Amino acid sequence: MQPCGRFAPSPSGRMHLGNVLCALLAWLSVRARGGRFLLRIEDLDPERCPRALADLIEDDLRWLGLDWDAGGAASGETYYQSSRTAVYETYYETLARKAEVYPCFCSRAALHAASAPHLSDGRVLYAGTCYGLSPAETAEKRRSRCPAARIHVPDETVSFVDGVQGAYSENLAAECGDFILRRSDGVFAYQLAVTVDDGLMGVTEVVRGRDLLESTARQIWMHRLLGFEPPQYFHIPLLLDYDGRRLSKRDDDLDLGMLRERFPPEQVVGALAYAAGLAGSPAPVRAADLVTGFDWAKVPKTDLYLPNVFRQL
Ligand code: GLU
């Protein structure tokens, strides 16, 4: 099967250097093996993700020298998650047949109460409060609150080998807990949408920040329930600011709007390639010139510091 990779940005802001690193590595990985590259716009929450920002991401990718074979505006609505609700509905029904999906009335405050079980990384493990409500209790609660939909996970350990982080295992019941498939406002959750889309779009490799490593076990579990072959995962290091803080979309001082005014694309690509172990120096380079020497073994798993050239900004 031809390798297929994807870049799946949520256009809630302009791309920052961390997003650029992710797009670059995803593109190099698949281009180095002659594969297809997709651009999927993860705008499940259309209010936070206006189309104009998605268009800017396309423009920024072109500026960086990264191309794609399908997706974005040229493919119509197919690769915008905001247009795929009917697709998610179908797969949601399948999941509800294969596992237990139940209404959850818990408020955000209740979920984060001090008594809620917290995992070592700060995430809250769902305590199962609404699992097993009787039909009468459910009907009563529905009168005052619209429920979210949660899926019950089994006491099952999912293991996989991440292409960057190595062997990883997670027990779904103990380390993930029952999770949301659809929010109380009807919007499908990222976990469902990303699994369905990667499965249906034939994605064979997923490259993304290591902050999403803990989402992977449940996605693999859903891939299997839905009859998809799970992709291979590569969770890349995060880019840290000088003070050790990770870059975020709020740091608009380092977004591509500003970077494009000050640097040519080859300098941005060269500095990131050097930081990621793919080039011997931070000299300017075109993305296309990195394809031949690309090797995941060169990419470190520990977080990366912002390249020097961007530090004086
Ligand atoms: N849309 C997600 C983000 O921009 C990425 C999801 C993924 O790659 O699985 O953070």
Residue-level pLDDT at 248: 67
Amino acid at 66: L
Residue-level pLDDT at 185: 94
| DSSP E strand boundaries for 8-77 | 36-39, 70-71
Q: pLDDT band at residue 46, thresholds of 50, 70 and 90?
A: confident
Q: pLDDT band at residue 254, thresholds of 50, 70 and 90?
A: confident
Mean predicted confidence (pLDDT) in 121-150 = 93
Q: Which of 153-162, 230-239, 247-256, 290-299 has the lowest mean pLDDT?
A: 247-256
- Ligand 1 atom nearest to 207, measured from its CA: 8
Mean predicted confidence (pLDDT) in 17-41 = 97
pTM: predicted TM-score of the whole model, two decimal places: 0.95
Residue-level pLDDT at 247: 74
**For 190-235, how does the pLDDT look when each residue is reduced to its tens digit (9 = 90+)?**
999 999 999 999 999 999 999 999 999 999 999 999 999 999 999 9
Mean predicted confidence (pLDDT) in 146-171 = 98
Domain residue ranges of the chain, discontinuous segments joined by +: 4-84+198-220+234-310, 100-188
DSSP-derived 3-state class of residue 309? helix
Mean predicted confidence (pLDDT) in 49-66 = 97
6, 10, 249: residue to mutate for ligand 1 pocket, most atoms within 8 A of CB? 10
* Stretch (H or E) spanning 304: strand 304-305
Residue-level pLDDT at 313: 61
Residue-level pLDDT at 123: 82
- What is the C-alpha to C-alpha distance for residues 268 and 286, in angstroms, rounded to an integer? 9
Instruction: Pick one of 3.65.10.10, 3.40.50.10540, 3.30.565.10, 3.40.50.620 as the CATH number of 4-84+198-220+234-310.
Output: 3.40.50.620
- Ligand 1 atom nearest to 206, measured from its CA: 8
**Between the CA atoms of 305, 253, 309 and 296, what dihedral angle is there, to the nearest 10 degrees?**
40
- Phi, psi dihedral angles at 167 (to 5 degrees): -65, 135
- Number of CB atoms found within 10 A of residue 209's CB: 17
Ligand 1 contact, 42 CB (< 6 A) = yes
Ligand 1 contact, 8 CB (< 6 A) = yes
Residue-level pLDDT at 292: 97
25, 190, 192, 235: residue to mutate for ligand 1 pocket, most atoms within 8 A of CB? 190
Q: Which two tokens stand for residue 147?
A: 């429920």
Residue-level pLDDT at 252: 59
At the second CATH level, the architecture of 100-188 is Alpha-Beta Complex (3.90)
* Stretch (H or E) spanning 265: helix 265-275
**For 257-297, how does the pLDDT look when each residue is reduced to its tens digit (9 = 90+)?**
999 999 999 999 999 999 999 999 999 999 999 999 999 99
User: Residues 6, 70: contact at Cβ < 8 Å?
Assistant: no
Average model confidence (pLDDT) across the chain: 94
Residue-level pLDDT at 251: 62
